[in-house]
Every structure is written in C-alpha cells, then in structure tokens.
Chain A
Amino acid sequence: MNNYDIKKDFHILKDITYLDSGATTQKPVQVINAIKNYYENNNANPHRGAYKLSIKATDVYDEARKKVSQFINARQTNEIVFTRNATESLNLIAYSYGMNNIKKGDTILLSIMEHHSNLVPWQNVCKKNGAKLEYMYVNNEGLLYEEDICKKIVPGVKVVGITQVSNVLGTINPVKEIVKRAHQVGAIVVVDASQSVPHMKVNVQDLDADFLVFSGHKMLAPLGIGVLYGKRELLNKLSPFLFGGDMIEYVYEQETTYAEVPTKFEAGTQNVEGAIGLSAAIDYLNNIGMNDVQKMEEEILEYAMSKLLKLDFITVYGPKDLSKHAGVISFNVNGVHPHDVASILDSNNVCIRSGNHCAQPLLRYMGLDSTCRASFYIYNTKEDVDKLIESLNKTRKVFEKWMK
C-alpha cells in the first residue's frame, strides 16, 4: 500500500492539503465504520449488566486493551490504562505518583522541549511538595546533548520526563539512553510518546520506560481516548487518581477497597467507542506495518526538507540530520508572522499550525516567538508538499512589497 491508496480511505482529504497531523490526524473509513458497528451491534455499559450485550461490550473493550498492549509490546495487558488523552495520562502520573512520592529536596527533571502537558503537572507537583524542577536544554538545532544530559541526571533526581519526539521541532530523543542513565541514579522515567507511537515502532520493554503515554486521536483513532502504560509493579503501588464507580472492590460507609489495576484507574463509565476506534486504528496501522509507516514518512520529510531548504525566504528549525528528525517541520517565512502565513495557506486549502505549539519554554529558550509547523502522516503525498511550497510562494508575493 502506498500513500495514494491510503489517502482514498480518508474522505475528508478530498479537497484539502492537511499538514497538521501533529495536532490530530484524520480518520479512515475503517475506524469510522468500526465505531458505527459498535453502536449498531455491541453497545452496552461494560462490566455492569448481567446480560449478553453487556458481556459483548466488555469483551470488545478488553480486546482493545490487548491490542494496545501488543502494539507497544507491554508484558501484560493490564499494564494499559485507558484515559481521555495523553494530558490526562500525565496528570494521573503526576497526581498518583508525583504528589505521593516526590518530597522536599527531590528533583524532577524534564527536557526543555516538553509539551505543556508534560511540564505544567510537574511544575504543580514541585510547587506543592517543595521539589526542584530542572531542565535538560538543547543546542541550536534543537537536539539534547550528552554533556548536559549527564550533568543533569544525577542522584536526587526522582522523575525524568522526556518526550520521544518533539511536537515542535520533530527531534527524536535518545530515550533509551536517558532511561538507562536515569535508572542508574534511581529515577523513574515518564515517556511522552504522543508524537512517536503514531509514527514509529515503539517497544516499551526495549525502552525500559516506567510510564509511557499517548493519545489515540494523533494515530487515526477518535478524540477522547488516551493511553497510559505503566510497569505493573509501579501501577500496583499507585493510589487511584479519580474515585467513584467501577474502580472499587468493596465500599463501606467509611472505607473503600479498590479494584485491581487497570480498573482501579478507570473510574466511571468508560469511552468504549474510543477504545474500539483505537483498536481499529491499530489494525489499520499494523496492516501497513509500522516499518513502512516510518519509511513513508521519512520519504515525505526528505522531499519536504529538500524543497523548503531551496526557498531563500524561509528559515527551517530543528535537527539537520534527518535520522534524528520525525515528520514535523517548524519554519518561518522571514519577516511574516506565522498567523499571517497560516491564513494565506488556508486560502489555498493548506492546513498548517502556527503559534507556540504548547511549548512556550522551548520557544523562549530558542529565542523564538512562534513558528509555522507542517506535520505529516501516511496520507500525505508529494503533491501535498508541492501545494505547500506553491502556497508559501504566494505568501511571499503578498508580503514582498512590505518586507523590510
């Protein structure tokens, strides 16, 4: 299957050039149909009713969990907790692990390129518990560098938060090495895989990540379903995050015992539709094969980079070495504000993102106010890139007379 065949499964892409998959991806008919089929044939409240339909709903929900666990090679199915999105997964870790284990004098270490969702919750933990928050910084290409990594991961660091791929610069971080070093000093590692799991083979056992999170909606699945992977022994020790129905074992007037992991972390009626959609999305990706997914994106990235670098009015940010660069490109049209670029591209039906991409500390550190971001997925073709380039030339024309 090539990206032209793939594109046919995404009806919304008929007339638009969609280059904002880093924000959320479009959905193929296979995923939309799986959700439709669930409501037409299997819908009930799982875990509750004592009737066949409810058992069916429970089964499909559990199957989705198994599918996810295999997709990232977890040891056990119950190491997968369903959440609303990566942000909720990270909050779960920050509250249930961070608030209870991080003490005054401890250090939480993040990379400066973390998305606000892997930064603000830890800032909150540090403020409440009196811990220190430190950062691993990047060089001018947006790459973490070994010297700084070694200097920062030292005894006293209790949590390391690291994104596997930067949603701003596309940087692929050396997560495996960071985990190894962090474990040597007794820290746990929280991997934000929001921009990696959709695009490359991710193996939690190989990475030896303690926690790893991602959102379904960035990998062809519907909005509102997210994943938290945690090592079994860690999840067992965590206290619950949200309390209420389903997450309990026995409830007395003054005391409650909780259900086993992962149910302990899934309070209230769950987003079964989302889990079904995510399961169908994984089938879709597996059918292509994650190696091919990655290869297709590499090809598009290479093509886009070669075209962009030829435009003398564009500044491109991020790693020059494309083996450390995923399918996300941040750039600026010199002298033109990114919002204006996005509007002019939009008039050509080219969708890109502009702004600070929920990573203000990174942009500030790099001395940038905001950038344009084009991000690619399996349905993007060379023609999409050509349309981007053509629209950037149009932008240049509109502004040319006024550039100083």
Chain B
Amino acid sequence: MDEVESVYTDIIMEHSTATYNKHELGNGAVKEHGHNPSCGDDITLEIIWNGDLIEDLAFTGSGCAISQASTSIMIDLLKGKTKEEALNLINIFLRMIKREDITEEETAKLEDAIALKNISNLPARVKCAELAWYTMEKLIEK
C-alpha cells in the first residue's frame, strides 16, 4: 500500500463526498470560522448547545478531500457528547495526528476518526486534517 492509498481510503473518500453534515443550523447556532491560509481550506462550524450537551453540529465551507472528510467524521463523533467528552476526544485526535502515543482504549473512542491516523504519511496535509478539530476547540471554548 503506498502513502496515497493509506490516506485516501474508502472511509475518507466517503466522508469527503458526504453532505449530510454540511448545512447551516439557523437561529440559535454559535459559529466559528476556520481557515488554512496556506492551502485555502475554509470551514465554518455551527453548534447548538443543550446545556452542556452538543445537541447539533454542522458545517459549511470548502476545501480538499482531507479537510472535508475530517470535518464530517468529527461531527459524527462529537454530536451528542458533553463539552468535556468532546474536548477529550479532540485532544486524543490531535495527539494521534502528531504521532504521539495513545492508548488502545483512547483509540477505540475515536471510531471512524482513526482513518486519519496515516495523514502523517503526507506531512503537507496534516493541517488539512487538523483544521476542523482546532476550530471545534475554539468553538467549544467560545
């Protein structure tokens, strides 16, 4: 398997073309804009809170397959989670991307997001995978 095949897997490609998470949430949503100036990926995350719970989460924007897939996968993972759980998952994900050690238990928590593990095979694209997660972190702390 070459480096490209290790990244452009079926899961990533499916999410990159999926549109069910890609829409606006309307009134009551809190928004955060994320942008990679070097490559042009540009997303806006929208969240609706129910107390501490992420009741709804969606995005709009454009970018490469990696950034779009990563955003969609993240939304699937974080919807319905509490603020604290979400921050923890973001932390695990970003450590995985940076090739730091994560436990088996932590890995299991990431579900489909594990598919982005190999992005470090394409160093030029790490930022694309991280964008949604850093933006989400800012959105949660807003």
Contacts and interface: CB of A to CB of B under 8 A. Distances in A.
Interface of A: 336-340, 342-344, 346-347, 354-356, 369-370, 398-399, 401-402, 404
Given A337-B65, A339-B64, A344-B4, A402 B16 contact: yes
B65 A340 contact: yes
Contacts of A344: 4, 8
Contacts of A404: 17
Contacts of A369: 40, 62
Contacts of B8: 340, 344, 398-399
Nearest to B127: A339
A343 B4 contact: yes
Question: Dominant SS at the A interface?
Answer: mixed
Contacts of A355: 38-40
B91 to A, nearest CB: 26
Contacts of A356: 40
B13 A401 contact: yes
A115 to B, nearest CB: 16
B29 interface: no
Nearest to A395: B4
B4 A339 contact: no
Q: What interface size band does chain B fall in? A: 20 to 34
A339 B39 contact: yes
B122 A343 contact: yes
A398 B40 contact: no
A71 B99 CA distance: 51
13 contacts: A337-B65, A339-B63, A339-B66, A339-B125, A339-B128, A340-B8, A343-B4, A344-B8, A346-B122, A355-B40, A398-B4, A399-B8, A402-B13
B112 to A, nearest CB: 16
B124 interface: yes
List 4 A-B pairs, minimum CB-CB distance, nearest first.
Answer: A339-B64, A337-B64, A347-B4, A402-B13
B76 interface: no
A232 to B, nearest CB: 40
A370 B42 CA distance: 12
Contacts of A398: 4-5, 8
B5 to A, nearest CB: 8
Interface in B35-58: 38-41
A370 B3 contact: no
Interface string B10-48: 000110110000000000000000000011110000000
Residue in A340, A346, A354 whose Cβ sees the most chain B Cβ within 10 Å: A340
Contacts of A336: 65
B104 interface: no
Interface in B76-106: none
Nearest to A347: B4
Given A339-B66, A354-B39, 10 more contacts: A339-B39, A339-B40, A339-B125, A340-B64, A343-B4, A343-B7, A355-B39, A369-B40, A402-B13, A402-B16
A370 B63 CA distance: 10
Nearest to B16: A402
B125 A402 contact: no
Residue in B14, B39, B41 whose Cβ sees the most chain A Cβ within 10 Å: B39
Residue in A343, A347, A370, A398 whose Cβ sees the most chain B Cβ within 10 Å: A343
A337 B3 CA distance: 18
A364 to B, nearest CB: 12
A370 B2 contact: no
A344 B38 CA distance: 18
B40 A340 contact: no
Contacts of A347: 2-4, 122
A356 B124 CA distance: 16
A281 to B, nearest CB: 28
Nearest to B122: A343
B40 A402 contact: no
Interface string B67-83: 00000000000000000
B74 to A, nearest CB: 18
B66 A340 contact: yes
A370 B39 CA distance: 9
Contacts of B122: 343, 346-347
A401 B16 CA distance: 12
A398 B5 CA distance: 8
A370 B38 CA distance: 12
B6 to A, nearest CB: 10
A341 to B, nearest CB: 9
A65 B79 CA distance: 64
Nearest to A360: B40
Nearest to B13: A402
Contacts of B65: 336-337, 340
A337 B61 CA distance: 13
Contacts of B13: 399, 401-402
Nearest to B42: A369
Contacts of A346: 122, 124
